[in-house]
Structure formats: C-alpha cells, structure tokens
C-alpha cells in the first residue's frame, strides 16, 4: 500500500496548492451531487437520479485517489508505516476535521430542531441531516489533509 501511495505518475494533478484546492473542492462538489442524486433516487424513487449517481461514481473515485495520493496515504496507511512527522500530521488533521465536523453537526442539529419547533415534521429532515452529517464526518479528514499538504521541494 505504501508503494501505491508513493507513486508519482499523477503528481501534476496535485503538484501545487491551488491544484489541490481545486481537487478538494471538485471532490466536495461530486460528493454533494452524488449524495443529492442518491437521496433523490431513494426518497423520490427516480431512476434517472440513480443513474446520475452511478455516472458520478468514477470521477468521485478518481478524485478520492488523487487526494489520497497527494497526501501520500497519510490517512490510508497503517500507523506503523508512518514516520513521526506523518503521525503528528495525521493527528493534527484528525483533530481539525473533528472540530469542523462538530461545528457542522451543531449547525445541522440546530436547523432540524428549529424546523421542528416551527411546526414541521422533523422526521425526513432529520434523516437527511443524519446522512449529510455522516458523509461529512467520513470525508472531512481527507478534505482537511488534502488542503494541508505542503508543496514538494523542487528538484534541481
């Protein structure tokens, strides 16, 4: 796995901070679109939405792989495969992602409670908020790691 994460063929995709930011934002957009299509196919029973979700899966997987490659497997490799600097970076990434996700979940919970207090039935919005919160919790460490990666030193 370490060998796979250290391959440099796709390095031009994430060689600079700007490219990594574009990659992370594109991954977020693909995630949101896939999640929306998946929920539309589940809740609305739309076959077209399901096919949209299936069509978005390959670019989403490609973007996931590119982000993981840009971090050299920081979150994918086992702890024993990382050096001290990488272990510290992983801890920082996980802590920062946890803080961001906690804030996001607080906002989502407040919105669901506010919707319920305004007289709406909170069942379906709560389910949607739960799914969005779970996906954000799952992917936030990768997004944070992708945004924190430093540029590689230029070889002379």
The answer to whether residue 156 is domain-embedded is no
d(CA 97, CA 82): 19
Query: What is the rounded average pLDDT of the residues 115-126?
Result: 77
Task: Give how many domains the chain has, as a whole number.
Answer: 1
Q: For residue range 50-63, list pLDDT tens digits in order.
A: 899 999 999 999 99
Structure tokens at 156: 């002379």
The answer to whether residue 154 is domain-embedded is no
The answer to whether residue 112 is domain-embedded is yes
The answer to whether residue 25 is domain-embedded is yes
Q: Confirm whether pTM is higher than 0.85.
A: no
Structure tokens at 120: 């709406």
The answer to whether residue 93 is domain-embedded is yes
d(CA 27, CA 114): 30
d(CA 93, CA 13): 21
The answer to whether residue 155 is domain-embedded is no
Query: What is the rounded average pLDDT of the residues 130-141?
Result: 91
> Residue 141 is part of which domain span?
2-148
């Amino acid at each position: 796995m370490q060998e796979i994460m250290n391959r440099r063929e796709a390095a031009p995709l994430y060689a600079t901070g700007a490219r990594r930011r574009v990659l992370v934002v594109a991954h977020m957009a693909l995630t949101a679109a896939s999640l929306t299509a998946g929920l539309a196919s589940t809740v609305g029973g739309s076959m077209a939405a399901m096919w949209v979700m299936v069509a978005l899966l390959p670019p989403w997987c490609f973007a996931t792989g590119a982000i993981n490659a840009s971090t050299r497997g920081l979150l994918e490799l086992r702890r024993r495969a990382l050096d001290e600097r990488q272990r510290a970076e992983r801890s920082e990434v996980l802590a920062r992602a946890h803080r961001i996700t906690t804030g996001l979940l607080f906002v989502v919970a407040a919105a669901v409670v506010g919707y319920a207090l305004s007289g709406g039935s909170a069942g379906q919005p709560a389910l949607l908020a739960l799914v969005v919160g779970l996906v954000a919790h799952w992917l936030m460490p990768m997004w944070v790691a992708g945004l924190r990666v430093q540029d590689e030193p230029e070889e002379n």
